[in-house]
Amino acid sequence: MKINPIYVTQPYLPPLEEFLPLLEQIWESKRVTNAGTFHKEFEAALCNYLGVEHISIFANGTLALVTALQSLNISGEVITTPYSFVATAHSLLWNAISPVFVDIDPDTLNLDPARIEAAITPETTAIMPVHCYGTPCDVKAIRRIADSYNLKVIYDAAHAFGVCDAGGSILRHGDLSVLSFHATKVFNTFEGGAIISPDADTKKRIDYLKNFGFADETTVVALGINGKMNEIQAAFGLLQLKHIDQALVLRKQIDSAYREALKGLAGITVLPPNIATKGNNSYFPILVETDFPLSRDNLYMKLKENNIFARRYFYPLISEFPMYQGLPSAQSANLPAAHAIANKILCLPIYPALSREDQDYIISTIKSIA
Ligand SMILES: *Cc1c(COP(=O)(O)O)cnc(C)c1O
């Protein structure tokens, strides 16, 4: 009988003894926040690792999304996906913007570019797609539509740390891209996030906005918020960067083992591998089809009874929550693909420390039901 719970994810933590010297440095300097040494070093190291030029780190991904929209003066309506974590749409409401939900492509689970144009109105100012599970959006098609209607594009890239297409980092696309470094993500600083800007002026404005709008000691240029990351988290992020490649290798091995074991299992569809040149294996989503002996929810419950805590990312859809369900675009007839996927999806545990033994236990539990 298994007693240790296996969660869908576990934060990736480097050895504590590697972190202690960094903490000592912070204690000595007495500089614990407000763009200290580690803050600057972490931003520079992230640019270097990710292959981008301008990055602003944040206290969390949600504040980064809210600030990204504010920095580009986005207003009116923004086209987005219902198949995401609720923070995607919440960032719009926090800016008094109306979300307009467009259905997803059932193959990529990303915003379907073929459905975007029909949702554009004179009020539309931007598109906010999500690189769901780290699968790159159709960035070319989205850019083409944005350009022909003069819209901004802000990517919620919370799942896309380290993902590359043939041209380099996926984060270079759009007017801005936003990362999350939450503990559940591939790369974490416990809580954290970042905005990738195309140029130094945009980064500068974003840096003002995350610091109450201060341009200098006595000048407040905008209604900024407190979105700053502290030194302890920045130091942790810097350390985490040294281990991320190893973490990605381990994730890839777990992904391959699941694929091999679940291949051909009746009633279970494993989504195809990431189309990206370099993926990050951030999630392991499966679809529980109607010919599986248990419904998706019953499989979820059964796994739970066996101490395996899978997650229904993303169910319910954002469009089902009370603050969104009244919108015309939130009606289920408008979002058939998103509803179909939300009712079948289950994300299995995947994280670097998941042992082969625990993974075998997860697989055999599913197989014993099938
Ligand atoms: C995690 C996540 C966020 C929110 O990031 P936080 O750092 O938790 O605030 C936003 N969008 C998506 C798609 C996410 O998965």
Q: Domain boundary at 241, 264, 281, which?
A: 241
Could you give the strand order of the β-sheet that contains 284-288, starting from the edge strand earlier in sequence?
A: 268-270, 284-288, 345-348
For residue 226, list its beta bridge partners: 211
Ligand 1 mutation target, pool 8, 83, 85, most atoms within 8 A of CB: 85
Q: Domain boundary at 216, 241, 266, which?
A: 241
Question: For all residues of the chain together, what is the average pLDDT?
Answer: 97
Do residues 42 and 237 touch, judged by C-beta distance below 8 A? Answer: yes
Share above pLDDT 90 across residues of the chain, in percent, rounded to a whole number:
98
Please give the distance, rounded to the nearest whole angstrom, from the Cα atom of residue 61 to the centre of ligand 1. 5
**Number of domains, the chain:** 2
For residue 148, CA distances in Å to 138, 172, 184 come to 16, 20, 37
Residue-number span of the structural domain to which 318 is assigned = 244-369
Q: Each residue of 74-118: pLDDT tens digit?
A: 999 999 999 999 999 999 999 999 999 999 999 999 999 999 999
Say what the pLDDT of residue 4 is: 83
- In this structure, the residues whose C-beta lies within 6 A of any atom of ligand 1 are 60-62, 84-85, 87-88, 130, 156, 158-159, 180, 182, 193
Q: Domain boundary at 241, 271, 286, which?
A: 241
Q: Is 4 exposed, middle or buried (0-12, 13-18, 19+ CB in 10 A)?
A: exposed
Q: Each residue of 238-277: pLDDT tens digit?
A: 999 999 999 999 999 999 999 999 999 999 999 999 999 9
Residue 233: Cβ within 10 Å count: 23
For residue 159, list its beta bridge partners: none
- Is 10 a domain residue? no
Please give the distance, rounded to the nearest whole angstrom, from the Cα atom of residue 267 to the centre of ligand 1. 30
- Write down the pTM of the prediction: 0.97
CA proximity to 283, closest of 8, 5, 4: 8
Residues in the chain, how many? Answer: 370
CA atoms within 13 Å, Cβ hemisphere of 71 = 32
Does one domain contain both 53 and 188? yes
Ligand 1 mutation target, pool 63, 88, 163, 178, most atoms within 8 A of CB: 88
Does one domain contain both 71 and 199? yes
